[in-house]
Chains A and B, each alone.
Chain A
Amino acid sequence: MIEIKDLHKSYQMGSNSLHVLKGLNFSIDEGELVAIMGSSGSGKSTLLNILGMLDEADTGEYTLDGVPIKNLNETKAAKYRNKFLGFVFQSFNLINYKTAMENVALPLYYQRVARKEREEKALKYLQQVGLKEWATHLPSELSGGQKQRVAIARAMAAEPKVLLADEPTGALDSKTSYEVMDLIQKINDQGNTILVVTHEEDIAHMCKRIVHLKDGVIVEDKKVEQVRASQYV
């Protein structure tokens, strides 16, 4: 599903060049639930941004679902993002003047899905995350965990190939974190490929594979015994 080869990325900080990713290689198969771990500055967010086509690598190859991702202009990147990827952010990034349902329906709008169908689908995914009754509520009326569940529903609504989650539990207490991870596990059980960036050990162990980044290189890549989050909920 995801294939990267010798990925390099550096940022210019004034006269200094900061080499963030120093030649990454790995691949992710369909249906995997992968945690990318590392302390801050390890390059895990940069990696996720490149995978999410929000940022571009300096050198290296990136293939997503058999499509080589290179020489992207903004319009093309937007189309690929819409077609291939679903995003979950640490700070939820819901649009505050749109209801839960409208937020979930937004990616479908950019897919030119008709309004009625959008709403039906949005409700379907809200139901999956257990928030159907909250469909007409604004983000400000939801708790943190609920917001993140809406965000997950939004990421799922476009039926992406890969779900990218950047610290999805970073802003949540541990009980809510487990609820969210439970949801992510369930979505993974349905066969969806998911990447989770986290620095929390317990969250990482709820995935099936952990990729450990340190100073821009992969120091460890192991499959783990998945801890089901449902036992903590």
Chain B
Amino acid sequence: MRFIFDKNTWQEIFGSISKNKVRTVITVVGVLWGIFIYIALSGAAKGMDNGFESIFETIAKNSMFVWSQSTSMPYAGYKTGRQIQLKLSDAEMMENRIPELQYIAPRNVKGFFGSSPPIIGRKNKTGSYPLFGDFPAFTKIAPKKIYDGGRFINDEDIAEARKVAVIGERTQKELFDKEENPIGGYLKIDDVYFQVVGVHKFDQSGGFGGDGDIFIPFTTFRKLYNTGDNVGWFSIAAYDDVDVVKVEENIKNLLKNLHQVHPDDDRAFGSFNLGEQFNKIKGFANGITFLSLVVGIATILAGVIGIGNILLISVKERTKELGVRRALGATPAEVRNQIILESVFLTMIAGVMGIILGAATLSLINKMTENIDFPYTNPTVPIPYVIGALVIMVVLGTLIGLIPAQRAVSIKPIDALREE
């Protein structure tokens, strides 16, 4: 191994490489292209992965909605087609019976799912916006960004059934003047005055909900519309590491039990499992990452084989030179090592250049997609991938260099010199 650290060896290799410029450039381009594809692809895949991640960032990844419908099977003396009504007590039962649940937020709404919206008025302006009755836990499941100075509904609001409201950006724009601070201001919801305590920022990537939504305490909502213990639907978040499909099943089974629904009745409760959807997209992104790795490595392989090919030709071209070197006292090992080191050196140079070029391309794409709605954020290639690629290149460069190197030493110096 001494020869690797010998300055003379490198001077000789550098000399041979730099004096055969065309060969060197052609050789380098192949591997450079390979590593460039590898870096660009896996970086882009990572960027897309991050992009999906940030879309779902605003909502708990293990969350789901559960609502009630009407039964499709007779059970326990009840006829088919009975409308099931979710109750506040269901939440307690779920909390007690299903330990995988992190948050449960019972919700009610007016002005959504077919119910007529309330009239919201302020001074001489009126409008209609969806009105939600909510618990503070809701923001843990679907985080809402509240503008400075404001807040979301808190526990005291619930306990005292305060008449406070969190309004949307659009509501603010339409009901309040431009210079006016809405916090502390009042608006009329179906003839009852509410004080505005917060304005939530509308997040387009959030997916659900709009920019006009108004949130009031669940308890206030129930008083206002006389809904009693009725619940429109549940927003539920499970802990991160649990199987959301299983949890969803458990929840439904519990609800069937509580509301005396046939265990096989799949129509009585509806649900939308965001966690499951998220996992699907995540799986898709993982697939793309894997694919990009495979394609990238295959391209590197092709490039390295190209290097081997060109070195093989160049060994043929340099037969005489190698014969002269051996006549002058180069041992077969020295000739072999030189060819292999040339191969590895070229591979490495090409690799490093490819990595730099790939990284530059990634950051360029990142700049270009910064302000458009496209799931692509912060495309990075993990360091282990880069190091892995370099290791692969060195190993392959050595292996592929062995072929021309072996050929170079298999020619007897006398035959090499005789060749014209």
Residue of B nearest to A80 (CB): B329
A82 touches B417 (CB 8 A): no
Give how many A residues have a beta carbon under 8 Å from the other chain's beta carbons. Answer: 31
Bound-complex Cα distance A79 to B8 (A): 18
Bound-complex Cα distance A81 to B329 (A): 5
B324 at the interface (CB under 8 A from A): yes
In the complex, chain A residues whose CB is within 8 Å of the CB of B252: none
**Chain B contacts with A in 128-171, Cβ cutoff 8 A:** none
A87 touches B327 (CB 8 A): yes
Bound-complex Cα distance A170 to B160 (A): 114
Give which listed residue, A82, A98, A115, contacts B329 with CB less than 8 A.
Answer: A82
In the complex, chain A residues whose CB is within 8 Å of the CB of B320: 93
Contacts A55-B414, A106-B325 hold; do A78 and B331 have CB atoms under 8 A apart? Answer: yes
**Chain A contacts with B in 81-109, Cβ cutoff 8 A:** 81-83, 87, 89, 91, 93-98, 102, 106-107, 109
CB distance from A36 to the nearest CB of B (A): 17
CB distance from A122 to the nearest CB of B (A): 13
CB distance from B326 to the nearest CB of A (A): 6
A75 touches B413 (CB 8 A): no
**Chain B contacts with A in 379-420, Cβ cutoff 8 A:** 409, 412-414, 417, 420
B330 at the interface (CB under 8 A from A): yes
Contacts A109-B8, A112-B8 hold; do A97 and B20 have CB atoms under 8 A apart? Answer: yes
In the complex, chain A residues whose CB is within 8 Å of the CB of B20: 97
In the complex, chain A residues whose CB is within 8 Å of the CB of B328: 81-82, 87, 106-107, 110, 154, 158
In the complex, chain A residues whose CB is within 8 Å of the CB of B409: 74
B329 touches A79 (CB 8 A): yes
CB distance from A108 to the nearest CB of B (A): 9
B333 touches A75 (CB 8 A): yes
In the complex, chain A residues whose CB is within 8 Å of the CB of B7: 115
A111 at the interface (CB under 8 A from B): yes
Q: Mark A157-186, 1 if CB is under 8 A from B, else 0.
A: 010000000000000000000000000000
Bound-complex Cα distance A210 to B333 (A): 38
Q: Mark B309-348, 1 if CB is under 8 A from A, else 0.
A: 0000000000011011111111111100000000000000
One of B10-18, B178-186, B230-238, B280-288 contacting the partner:
B10-18
B123 at the interface (CB under 8 A from A): no
Bound-complex Cα distance A95 to B317 (A): 12
A54 at the interface (CB under 8 A from B): yes
Bound-complex Cα distance A108 to B16 (A): 17
In the complex, chain B residues whose CB is within 8 Å of the CB of A82: 328-330
A83 touches B19 (CB 8 A): no
Give how many B residues have a beta carbon under 8 Å from the other chain's beta carbons. Answer: 28
A42 at the interface (CB under 8 A from B): no
Bound-complex Cα distance A115 to B7 (A): 9
Give which listed residue, A81, A96, A98, contacts B327 with CB less than 8 A.
Answer: A81
Residue of B nearest to A164 (CB): B327
Contacts A78-B330, A98-B19, A110-B330 hold; do A54 and B8 have CB atoms under 8 A apart? Answer: no
A97 touches B16 (CB 8 A): yes
CB distance from A133 to the nearest CB of B (A): 22
In the complex, chain B residues whose CB is within 8 Å of the CB of A91: 420
In the complex, chain B residues whose CB is within 8 Å of the CB of A111: 329
A188 at the interface (CB under 8 A from B): no
A13 at the interface (CB under 8 A from B): no
Give which listed residue, B8, B326, B420, contacts A115 with CB less than 8 A.
Answer: B8
Residue of B nearest to A118 (CB): B8
Bound-complex Cα distance A115 to B15 (A): 13
Give which listed residue, A74, A93, A112, A115, contacts B324 with CB less than 8 A.
Answer: A93
Bound-complex Cα distance A124 to B179 (A): 90
Residue of A nearest to B409 (CB): A74
In the complex, chain B residues whose CB is within 8 Å of the CB of A78: 326, 329-332, 334
Q: Mark B12-36, 1 if CB is under 8 A from A, else 0.
A: 1001100110000000000000000
Q: Mark B367-378, 1 if CB is under 8 A from A, else 0.
A: 000000000000
Bound-complex Cα distance A97 to B19 (A): 6
Bound-complex Cα distance A227 to B20 (A): 44
Give which listed residue, B19, B331, B417, contacts A75 with CB less than 8 A.
Answer: B331
A95 touches B8 (CB 8 A): no
CB distance from A79 to the nearest CB of B (A): 7
Q: Mark A111-143, 1 if CB is under 8 A from B, else 0.
A: 110110000000000000000000000000000
Bound-complex Cα distance A102 to B330 (A): 15
A43 at the interface (CB under 8 A from B): no
Bound-complex Cα distance A82 to B325 (A): 10
Bound-complex Cα distance A83 to B20 (A): 30
Bound-complex Cα distance A74 to B332 (A): 7
CB distance from A10 to the nearest CB of B (A): 15
Q: Identify the interface centre among A95, A96, A98, A102: most chain B CB within 10 Å of its CB.
A: A95
In the complex, chain B residues whose CB is within 8 Å of the CB of A38: none
Bound-complex Cα distance A87 to B332 (A): 18
Contacts A78-B326, A154-B328 hold; do A110 and B334 have CB atoms under 8 A apart? Answer: yes
Bound-complex Cα distance A204 to B327 (A): 25
CB distance from B415 to the nearest CB of A (A): 9
A216 at the interface (CB under 8 A from B): no
Residue of B nearest to A151 (CB): B324
Can you spell out 8 A-B residue pairs with CB atoms less than 8 angstroms apart? A49-B414, A74-B332, A78-B334, A79-B331, A87-B328, A94-B324, A111-B329, A114-B8
B residues touching A (Cβ–Cβ < 8 Å)? 7-8, 11-12, 15-16, 19-20, 320-321, 323-334, 409, 412-414, 417, 420
